[in-house]
């Protein structure tokens, strides 16, 4: 999974290359797609346990994100349940 980070780091270096804007966009797109492919392949190789662990961590991170619309809806529902009858 660490290998999928390398193309993202390479994308950050693209502005420092002496290439045209079109070529830079093509290189960036290729690197981003390759990073995602490597990430998915790593998950497939690591197996179901790694996938479940990653999914659990992602859900926890999204649940704690205060800017997430889902989190705001949950907070609203909690306040509504706390009102006296």
Tokens coding 59:
């859900």
Return the domain boundaries, the chain.
1-46, 47-85
Strands (E), the chain: none
Find where tokens 């980070």 sit: 5
Q: Show Cβ contacts of residue 38 under 8 Å, excluding neighbours closer than 6 positions.
A: 3, 4, 7
The upper half-sphere exposure of residue 28, i.e. CA atoms within 13 Å in the direction of its Cβ, equals: 14
CA 6/CA 42 separation, integer angstroms: 14
For the entire predicted model, the pTM comes to 0.60
Q: How confident is the model at residue 69 (pLDDT cuts 50, 70, 90)?
A: low
* pLDDT interval class at 10 (50, 70, 90): very high
């Amino acid at each position: 999974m660490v290998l999928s980070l390398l193309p993202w780091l390479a994308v950050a270096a693209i502005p420092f290359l002496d290439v045209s804007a079109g070529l830079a966009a093509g290189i960036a797109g290729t690197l981003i797609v390759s990073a995602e492919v490597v990430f998915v392949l790593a998950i497939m190789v690591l197996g179901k346990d790694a996938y479940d662990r990653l999914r659990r961590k992602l859900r926890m991170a999204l649940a704690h994100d205060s800017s997430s619309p889902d989190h705001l809806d949950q907070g609203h529902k909690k306040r509504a349940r706390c009102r006296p009858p």
